[in-house]
Amino acid sequence: MRKWKRVVSLVLLSILMLNSFVGCAKKDPTTDSGSNNASVENNGSEQSKGNETEELSKEAPMLAEQVSAGTLPALEERIPVESDVMVESDLISLGQYGGSITITTNDSGHWTWGPYTEQSMFRFKQDGSGEVEPNVAKDFYSNEDATVWTIELREGMKWSDGHPFTADDVIFYYDHMSTPALNEDRTPVGVDEEGYYPAYTSKPYNCYQVTKDGKTYWAEFEKVDDYKFTVTFAAPKPNFPEAVAVDNKWMFLPKHFYVNYVARKDGVTDDPTFPLITEEEALANANKDFNKQWDNYSTMGKDIGYYNWDYAIVPQLRSFIAVKDNWNQVGEVYELVRNPYFWKVDSEGRQLPYLDSIKVVIINDADQVVLKQTAGEIDLSYVEAGDYSTVVSATQTTHSVIPWVRPEWAGGPTLALCQTVQDADKRALFQDVRFREALSISVDRNLMNATLMNGQSGPQQSAPSQGAVGYDPEWLTKWTEYDVERANQILDELTEPWDRKEGTYRKMKGTNRDLEIVISITDPSTEGDYITLLQSAYKAIGIKISDKVDAEVAKSILVNNIEAKFEGISVTSPAIRSDVMVPMRNFSCWYGAYGKWYEDGKTTANGGIEPTGAILELINAYDAIKSAAGSNREQIVAENVQKIYDLHKENTWLIGFLAPMPLNWVVNNNIKNFPSNIVWADEYRFASMMRPEQLYLAQ
């Protein structure tokens, strides 16, 4: 077993925080005490009694029929050997096979339905403790100084096409799909140096990197045998499992499949199982086999390497797999069917999942989603605050409201101003803390609460809520008092004089240009109300607000072509996940190209911008957390995590307006094993924490 301290003291504080959340969460007050919530939460004992009286089939009837017909191997040939098969503890009760449930998302909803099916190498425990446990891996452990990690896999585990899953799939994915060009010492080749190429997936993962003597080094993967491999770092990496669980949870892809679409690099010539193909050949193969028309190798690589779960052709370890590639077709149903080779069983040795399939209705219009929710056509969905009363009232006899915990810093809109915005005049304003204060105090949060949240929330700055790590009551109320006059006084110092005439706007200092902020949005139907309210509020201080619909806003962030957007911080602890709080990858609008600078190895050669001041202090604190080792590691981590919180409090880079709400699921009463009071967080992979493979339908 492990020889290292798995979670630092700060994360232990996070445990207490999350358990506090769970303990405080209540059943929905709009339902009767003997109503739907009780039927969902108490169905287990009755169902278990019923199952005790019948002989339980070890596999779904639809699969048993295929076995009998000779079109599918027997169950014992499809799952790992008995000693290695993963036994899931029963959530509430043993389930029954059969049926489908319906969920919904939009046509760019990779991340909405993806967590329903994904299976990570290591996963966070469902109890919200912040600890990780084996999942795809059978076991993992390190040497004494955490420089070498050993990962054991499950013998007999198979991909959804029946091909064996082995260490080769992990090492191929890492060496040829995840890493950029590396020097012999495993430092990355500079983006402006000869021989540079990016990762196939176009995304370098920080979980595989360490810093030593000011240099970044990538880990080295080595195969021990088919079911064991090691990961060696140039410096201690005590948080490796947690880092993988957050950053690159699916650290594998099927080598036997991807050898057709990955151009061989790094002078590899001695592996006959990895045929030598060029980028042009790989692109041609992908266009033919996926029936697509990618224009270049790089775009294709990100699409099928990073968003691989979209495509039915790609073998998976997931619980449910696609049957066709219509995930982005509005009005259609994207169906995910049970994986016949899924490698988990329940406590009685019955293969999971219980459900035959998950059906995803593709809808872009938020109003249409609400209509389907109120009609009871969506079995499992979460309801927005503004639609809560409508949906819950309409479905009170068929669905239950089950709350989950959200460790968010704010609810509703949180305004992020890009600190590296291309316009130099705007950049000067956006980086001025006084400007952000003026924007904050000129918004009537009580009006916003009444208008957007049906009065269910209240004023709050973007800050950790009570009970959360980093909680500070002074921070929660910072710049939340409505004061338009003071906002104008502040802005008078930062802009050209403004006469406050109706229909006019302030001019930026030294220019004749209106002070305008363009906010990028992806969903006008939901974000439009926020835009309208801010337009009204900021008109009173002479600032023009415009919106730009950008369906690919993530790409705009990548190239620093963005001014502002709505994005917030939802994080259990920066010791577990830092990228929403620190510019350590090209990810968030608020820090923009600073993240690109860090991600590229602290260079401006590829469009990154070198940070200074408080942003640089954030990065230094993050680097200290990464490199902390030895007996005082916990103290170093705790001190620098607090430093990160202090810097955010002082600078308020993201402007929050309202307090966060719980995530309220609306769940069909026929769905069993749906858990309550789970932590909804990106680190924990959102819906995956419900363990969808254990959901079943009452019969």
SS3 content of the chain, % helix, strand, coil (to 5): 35, 15, 50
| CATH code, 411-658 | 3.10.105.10
What are 613-653's pLDDT values in tens digits? 999 999 999 988 887 877 888 899 899 999 999 999 999 99
Per-residue tokens: 681:
């967080």
Integer Cα distance of 248 and 253 in angstroms? 12
- Residues in Cβ contact with 576 at an 8 Å cutoff, skipping those fewer than 6 apart: 11, 14, 130, 242, 246, 683
Lowest mean pLDDT among 46-50, 51-55, 517-521, 535-539: 46-50
Rounded to 5 degrees, what are φ and ψ at 411? Answer: -110, 160
What pLDDT score was predicted for residue 2?
A: 40
Does the pLDDT of residue 358 top 90, yes or no? yes
pLDDT of residue 196: 92
- Between 260-269, 348-357, 657-666, the lowest mean confidence (pLDDT) is in 260-269
- Whether the Cβ atoms of residue 658 and residue 458 lie closer than 8 Å to each other: yes
Taking 50 as the threshold, does the pLDDT of residue 244 lie above it?
yes
Q: What confidence category does residue 51 fall into, taking pLDDT thresholds of 50, 70 and 90?
A: very low
C-alpha dist (Å) from residue 350 to 1, 85, 86, 95, 96:
28, 11, 11, 9, 10
CB count in 10 Å sphere of residue 315: 22
How do beta strands 564-566 and 411-417 pair?
antiparallel
Which of helix, strand or coil describes residue 522?
A: coil
Per domain, the residue ranges of the chain are 31-118+318-404+682-699, 411-658
pLDDT at 691: 97
What is the percentage of the chain residues whose pLDDT exceeds 70?
A: 92
| pLDDT of 29 above 50 | no
Q: How confident is the model at residue 442 (pLDDT cuts 50, 70, 90)?
A: very high
Residue-wise pLDDT tens digits, 202-230:
777 889 999 888 789 999 999 999 999 99
Q: At 575, is the pLDDT very low, low, confident or very high (cuts 50, 70, 90)?
A: confident
Average pLDDT for residues 580-607, to the nearest whole number?
Answer: 93
Q: Is residue 121 predicted with pLDDT exceeding 90? A: yes
pLDDT at 4: 38
Q: What pLDDT is stored for residue 55 in this prediction?
A: 55
